Structure 1
Amino acid sequence: MNIKLNKTQPLFIKILDFMVHISLAICTAWFIAYSFAYKVTNTGQSMLPLIGVNEGVLVNRLAYVFDKPERFDIIAFKSSENDVNVKRIIGLPGETVVILEGIVYINGNPLDTSDVTGKDLEKAALEGIASAPVILKDDEYFVLGDNRESSEDSRFSKIGNVKRKLIIGKLWLRIIPLKRIGYLY
């Protein structure tokens, strides 16, 4: 049955049609905001120079619904204390990560970051728990901050390996401050 609105329809039908359209608009706006506009504020210096202190970024919560996190993705995740952290994925499930003399090794091979960031990231002065091989389980990721000198990340027991279920999503857009607005790589 096809209902056509015209001036002869009862007021009830016109109001009902209006309410359905408003409800659809609200649901669509909520879905977009929930999925792509989850805002996180970076509180520390661990992701400098890419993401500065107190800069606001948006997280794509749907990025990993149909896809897996990849090496060098910048993610937001919850720590064991329910804080939201921002770091870069370095080690993937099943891999072995070790840091020797500041160089990150994945499965025995030195990690080259120049293709992703345009430059090699700093050496890690502190190896932390990664001074011995860290073997990642099937649902674990090893994360590091870009500013290795000032980052609390998987090298330290407070963060440790990040379980997949704690990953909120992938960062995609810096929105604050306005003069630095732009996509994150």
Structure 2
Amino acid sequence: MCLSATLFSCSKDPLSGLSDSDSQIFVTNHDNQANFKLYKTFSVVDSVQVVEDNYSGTGLTSLDRAMLIRIIDNMEKLGYKYVLASAKPDVGINLARITNTSLNVVSQPISPYWGYGGGYGYGYPNYYTYYQTSESYWSMSMIDLKNPDTVNNKIKVIWNAQIRGSGLGNDSFVSQMVDSVFGQSSYLKNN
């Protein structure tokens, strides 16, 4: 038992040395049937959708504004023309800031106080540890406003992206985060 405790206590945590920048993950997806060369104009939302557990609303912090401006810059570099929503753009870009918080419970059959098990039918109770986790991420989606489904009253999402990891609320990472999701979506190029 002493040997196994020694072996496990020396194992390294592969995530402990990552910087906020290194921890970020960029996930993109698109509709394989969408021909992005047919879309010429775009618009972005005027505020960011904020989802925090059971709350949903909109917001426009300085960070939100920086994200929206960087999205516009990337779309224009890809060859799209920015227009107001009233000009009936071909595609629309939505941005959401999402935070999920969970309370978790772990049953520990070994007492942290005496070292012997509880809850084995001998009248000893199980011990529980409670901990809270919180995850925040950005979600972007491009919707096809040029070809709405008027019969079913639906608009199709033709591209989406998620940005996950640490430091997502840091203004200095805005360029890296937005540029990364557009950089790995070369099929969006329109020029």
- The bucket for the TM-score relative to the shorter chain is under 0.3
Give the number of the structure with larger relative contact order, counting CA–CA contacts within 8 Å between residues 6 or more apart: 2
Instruction: Please state which structure has a larger fraction of its residues in strand.
Output: 2
| Higher gyration radius (CA) | 2
- TM-score (norm. length: structure 1): 0.26
